[in-house]
Structure 1
Amino acid sequence: MNKREFLKNAAALSSLAIMPAESWSFSADKRLRTAHIGLGGMGQADLASISIHSNVDVVALCDVDSTVLAEVSSKFPKAKTYKDYREMLKEMSKDIDAVIVSTPDHTHAPASIMAMEMNKPVYCQKPLTHYVKEARAMDKIAKDKKLVTQMGIQVHSFYDYKLATLLIQSGIVGKVHTVRAWSPKNWGYNGPVPETGDPVPSNLDWNLWQGTSAERPYKDGFYHPGNWRKLVDYGCATLGDMGVHIFDTPYNALQLDVPRTIINNCRKPNGFGYPEKNMVTYEFPGTKYTADTLKWVWYDGVGADKQREDLMLPDGADLHDQGAMFIGEKGRLYLPHFQVMPKLIVDGSYKDIDISQFKLSEPVREYSSEVHKHYHEFVDACLGKATCSAPFSYASRLTETILLGVIAGRFPNKTLHWDAKKAQFAEEDANQYLGGMYRKF
């Protein structure tokens, strides 16, 4: 089963068999009561994976779509239901141990921060936030309160990505000087802004869906349930979707911080939808796994430019639709996305990789079984028996990097200079996009 099939059937996964008891070691009577905010496609997938942990009790469900809420609630009849996460958190504060946030991007931070201020551990879907300032704020709260946190980048815990990290850090290609990453997905919109609105469906609370974002008239097919990623008020474009997944392993393996410069080659901004095609070039300060400076180039959109000499595969083979290439002083490591073993390329030929030194188990090729690991790591951490591998201390930096590339799309072909200590651009006109005004709703 691939990811698309998994998401399609997520609502049914709550009836899957419980994972073997050896996957956690604490006593069976220790429970984690979870509340779930956002129950769309990804929200149901999150709920399915969290709920099959034998130490979890789902006690609250929240969604602004009454049809979705009723459907999911029928599978968890003991859970209380809400359409406003603020009411849920206030009313059930004493009955909730952890909160899972699976909303569109613009609500990630408002919902997560409210829960964290109540001292609740939070599992939040990627990208962590809609704005850079929110990412830094969530990182600070998590540190100050010493909260268990995890960002929803499930493949972070997959076999192939763990292996690629170990290979790069073992020096298999030497110091890495360039990373190229790509996705053909198009979470952009080059069309006109809708001039008229449509009646709001009776099952949707449009005010709550918009949340803290600027108020707009509802338009059928533009926002709920599926196209919000394309629009600047709500999503973070392809970078904020596939970019987070594909950036994650190189970012983690190379132990990168945030970039010094960013430039996005794309069309002029229209203030409503993101560009349908982007080429974002980052320059990072070096680490012990890289050259003195690391160049990172991201391509997205239909026909994303992959015809580069350092992306050519042996025997003229085609690149996978999505993936990343580590380019080092001794060769290249090719990492398709996803569940494909990394491949070593030296002097134009594939080379065998000896992985015996890493003492890894056999690779898993079934998404629907491996996907639970990342979620259960969070549950186990909340219960004091594990440590999260994508806490907000890590996720905030990765998200900041992603969002800087998104902001650069407002200034096509212009190099932006980022001061990580001051958390601002040298180009003053870019700083207005680091945060946003929260609407009262």
Structure 2
Amino acid sequence: MKRRTFLQSSTVLAAAALLPGCATQSAISGTPGRLRTAHVGLGYQGREDMGAIASHPAVDVVALCDVDSKFLAEAQAQYPKARSYTDYRVMLDEMGDEIDAVIVATPDHTHAPASLLAMGMDKPVYCQKPLTHHVAEAREMARVARDRKLVTQMGIQVHSFYDYRVATQLIQSGLIGKVREVRAWSPKNWGYNGPAPTESDPVPETLNWDLWLGTAPDRPYVEERYHPSNWRQIVDYGCGTLGDMGVHIFDTPYNALALDVPLTIVNDCRPPSGYGFPEHNVVTYEFPGTAYTADTLKWVWYDGPGAPGEQPELELPNGDPLPEQGAIFYGETGKLLLPHFMQEPRLFVDGAYREIGTEITAAAAALDLGEPVRNYATESPKHYHQFVDACLGKDETSAPFSYASRLTEVILLGVVAGRFPGETLHWDTDTARFAEDKANEFLAGSYRAF
């Protein structure tokens, strides 16, 4: 099969990524009541996703794809009946009629190319976070999912966890009144302040480097710099700490407050290098108001080693230390702390904690959650099983691309703002453009033919 060229229009991928000869078909065309899944990306997160999806009793894993033959062999040992591929385009071309849903867990720059190709064949898609590498891709993913009425889900497993759902209910029930501000943080560091490497190393025999690069610019392979674990640090492949932990930690406040996309964004960070993301970012967003907020909402994000640092606004009662990662809602009548993750939300008013056990119990009852369960191994599969059940017509997903694309857009606007440290960028959601034209070139990438 000839390698297909992915094209980019002035706004985004032109669905020209679709494979000629692949007929559009209904999503579920195999055995009634069963879902045949194809898995693109089988590194650490891909194996997690595959195991969680396959733990659903109605799933049959039929196709495996990874550019690293070592990962592919490990997955093949688990699912010997599945067919193996190194190129997802070949897999979809050859097995289109035998695949009901596609799970994408590649580095960020391949999320949209692989997902859009599958969606163009009317395949439901479960895609890891952040949904895309570029804002324009996120909008296109939402459009295709909407137009083709596809079941979709973004991989933010904690979205379905007890404490996050309870916190959403507490905020929307008015526990702290209308919220005027959110502050969120993670000390994780997916930045790199060093120079771009000038050396190159031999490509491992197990790795197809050209396919790993995919639509990204061509670059020599450097050992331990990109594959399998440090690509999040690099502008061409990842989205920094915002694109990793930011998606998880933003999710509940964003959902609870029914936010859309911001009016303005400013990122205080080091000057851009064009290669690695800054190791420290302080990103401030201003959002238009909603039913749960003041007229506008201020949101401040801190990341990097030591984040958030000494911030008077983040002081807790009794001099308690902040959780390593989390968020605080600032409302009319109090503040709600939401640690990340699997910890109960905590209310404090006028510098003192306030007991809210009764409110938490009521919130859980309203959502029919039962008793709290804080076990990642048992809770994480719920988000995946929800996707499977939705594909089978038995449920609805809670993080479809209609939601995930907007959350991702927020994250990616903060990433773009890192190109212009300290400058306030003004975003127009209707035109999907910045008022500052110099920033618009970073809304969509240039796709390499591969």
1:40 to 21, 29, 43: 43
Compute the displacement of 1:29 (Å): 6.0
1:397 to 390, 406, 409: 406
Distance (whole Å) between structure 2 residues aligned to residue 297 and residue 29 of structure 1: 48
CA contact under 8 A between 2:115 and 2:125: conserved in structure 1? yes
Distance (whole Å) between structure 2 residues aligned to residue 418 and residue 326 of structure 1: 24
| Equivalent residue, structure 1, for 2:362 | 357
1:425 to 418, 434, 440: 434
| Equivalent residue, structure 2, for 1:70 | 73
Compute the displacement of 1:304 (Å): 1.4
Q: Secondary structure of 1:68's partner? A: helix
Q: Secondary structure of 2:154's partner? A: strand
- Superposed counterparts of 1:193-208, under 5 Å: 193-208=196-211
Q: Secondary structure of 2:75's partner? A: helix
Per-residue Cα deviation, 1:348-372 (whole angstroms, up to 9, x for no partner): 1111112232313111111000000
* 1:410 maps onto 2:413 in alignment: no
- Superposed counterparts of 1:236-255, under 5 Å: 236-255=239-258
* 1:282 maps onto 2:285 in alignment: yes
| Equivalent residue, structure 2, for 1:337 | 340
| Equivalent residue, structure 1, for 2:214 | 211
Which letter maps to 1:327? Answer: Y
Q: Secondary structure of 2:103's partner? A: strand
Q: Secondary structure of 1:222's partner? A: coil
Which letter maps to 1:339? Answer: M
Compute the displacement of 1:306 (Å): 4.0
| Equivalent residue, structure 2, for 1:379 | 388
CA contact under 8 A between 2:265 and 2:284: conserved in structure 1? yes
Compute the displacement of 1:331 (Å): 0.3
* 1:388 maps onto 2:401 in alignment: no
1:228 to 201, 226, 231: 231
Structure 1 length-normalised TM: 0.93
Distance (whole Å) between structure 2 residues aligned to residue 424 and residue 263 of structure 1: 15
Distance (whole Å) between structure 2 residues aligned to residue 61 and residue 193 of structure 1: 33
Compute the displacement of 1:264 (Å): 0.2
Distance (whole Å) between structure 2 residues aligned to residue 367 and residue 226 of structure 1: 22
Compute the displacement of 1:305 (Å): 2.9
| Equivalent residue, structure 2, for 1:145 | 148
Structure 2 length-normalised TM: 0.91
Compute the displacement of 1:221 (Å): 1.1
Q: Secondary structure of 1:74's partner? A: helix
CA contact under 8 A between 1:29 and 1:55: conserved in structure 2? no
Compute the displacement of 1:399 (Å): 0.2
Per-residue Cα deviation, 1:209-235 (whole angstroms, up to 9, x for no partner): 000000000011110000000000000
Which letter maps to 1:224? Answer: H
Distance (whole Å) between structure 1 residues aligned to residue 350 and residue 87 of structure 2: 58
| Equivalent residue, structure 1, for 2:303 | 300
Per-residue Cα deviation, 1:296-336 (whole angstroms, up to 9, x for no partner): 00000012134333311111110011000000110000000
CA contact under 8 A between 2:186 and 2:308: conserved in structure 1? no
Which letter maps to 2:231? Answer: W
Q: CA RMSD in A?
A: 0.9
Distance (whole Å) between structure 2 residues aligned to residue 301 and residue 347 of structure 1: 30
Distance (whole Å) between structure 2 residues aligned to residue 166 and residue 365 of structure 1: 18
Q: Secondary structure of 1:92's partner? A: helix
| Equivalent residue, structure 2, for 1:4 | none
Q: Secondary structure of 2:341's partner? A: coil
Q: Secondary structure of 2:283's partner? A: strand
* 1:366 maps onto 2:413 in alignment: no
CA contact under 8 A between 1:125 and 1:151: conserved in structure 2? yes
* 1:95 maps onto 2:98 in alignment: yes
CA contact under 8 A between 2:127 and 2:154: conserved in structure 1? yes
Kindly report structure 1 stretches of 4+ aligned residues shifted beyond 6 Å: none
Which letter maps to 1:105? Answer: D
Per-residue Cα deviation, 1:171-202 (whole angstroms, up to 9, x for no partner): 10111000000000010000011112111000
- Superposed counterparts of 1:52-67, under 5 Å: 52-67=55-70
Which letter maps to 1:256? Answer: L
Distance (whole Å) between structure 2 residues aligned to residue 71 and residue 436 of structure 1: 33
| Equivalent residue, structure 1, for 2:263 | 260
Distance (whole Å) between structure 1 residues aligned to residue 66 and residue 244 of structure 2: 21
Distance (whole Å) between structure 2 residues aligned to residue 435 and residue 231 of structure 1: 16
Compute the displacement of 1:38 (Å): 0.1
| Equivalent residue, structure 1, for 2:169 | 166
Distance (whole Å) between structure 2 residues aligned to residue 229 and residue 310 of structure 1: 30
Which letter maps to 1:189? Answer: Y
* 1:116 maps onto 2:144 in alignment: no
Distance (whole Å) between structure 2 residues aligned to residue 308 and residue 164 of structure 1: 23
Per-residue Cα deviation, 1:98-151 (whole angstroms, up to 9, x for no partner): 000000000000000000000000000000000000000000000000000000
| Equivalent residue, structure 2, for 1:15 | none
Higher mean C-alpha deviation, range 228-237 or range 66-75:
66-75
* 1:436 maps onto 2:441 in alignment: no
CA contact under 8 A between 2:53 and 2:384: conserved in structure 1? yes
CA contact under 8 A between 1:310 and 1:327: conserved in structure 2? no
Which letter maps to 2:150? Answer: L
Which letter maps to 1:356? Answer: T
Unmatched segments (≥5 aa) in structure 2: 1-30
Q: Secondary structure of 1:136's partner? A: helix
Percent identity, please: 67
Distance (whole Å) between structure 2 residues aligned to residue 74 and residue 84 of structure 1: 19
| Equivalent residue, structure 1, for 2:4 | none
| Equivalent residue, structure 1, for 2:19 | none
Distance (whole Å) between structure 2 residues aligned to residue 356 and residue 187 of structure 1: 37
Which letter maps to 1:364? Answer: V
